Structure 1
């Protein structure tokens, strides 16, 4: 082994050691600061990803940072050791989903999408889990706080960026949006993709559309009951 190849091997071992010992994911910049000058961190990360691709642990990129994680097909072996006793209520799960897909979003906007008010405790639970944070304040009367997801949310769910969340078609394929077709019919079908800058303003609010279709169904049923009552002979 030449002197150059020995140095490359040693540099790769140092990158591996730093990642192995770290309790949290590390960015390229953070690793560069800890290593001697001249170490090609990016190249060694690519090498390590290839080496660990078929092993029991993989080198993965989450939230723009690198970490070792148990291979997905072997995660069941450690489930007993790594599962956390953290159970979320249905309200918390729905609130987390709304924040993830609509961030930055205010409390009032969350309630408008869900159709019911949320208790302060629901947001507190999500913030204590470090999955949700206050992102700032909306420039509207009252300056309401806006909420968004955190890096811990991405790491916990193994997502590199928010853009990797499942889209509409994936959710439909999984059977999680059973009434979405009815809801879209109410709004005239699927919208055409807008420009990147206008995409957020032009998108259909699926939850609101579904809620609207359900309200229409209830109103229709109530009207039918009134008609049936009116047709009954007087006693």
Structure 2
């Protein structure tokens, strides 16, 4: 039974809401992103997660684009930057890219917003600076290092985003298709007329070999070998003054 509050008693106060801040908004945005994906991350959905109205978010975040910048910067805080060294240089470069992919793929389709974004946040700059250091340790020119950071980041972002798309596609196929999609695709390729597709039809089997990790490593090896071919013949650590 609910009784009225006696006039001489202090009414119970509602618990105060957690004050909004950029940090709280970004943390909530990551929660929505990881659980529901980037398309679900609207300002209205974010406000619901925080138990407030959308208008209150704009006192801390100008718009969705600024939210994306803050979000990718927060994710980059998880990237472990390796020590720069000429020793095992190619593997160090690869490990850095692998580490970036590990972090990006742990947050659904965030690779989508990582592309076409110039680094300005502290953590994004920290990762870019670390990659420059790793590349420079191999003796590459400043120009090669600058462009390599862009290309390697693009590869990591694109691979992460495509991986998230494939996960969604395969999940749909498991629910909707009686025969797995790639089995159907293999049969389709095999049935192509060889006179019209003289290269694709005979290679139908090998076109679909390997998983996403195999193909990622293949592409990464191509990129890093290409960079290695531009290293000086004299080790930067013993190069004469």
Return the TM-score normalized by structure 1: 0.24
Q: Which has the higher contact order (CA 8 A, sep 6+)?
A: 2
Return the TM-score normalized by structure 2: 0.24
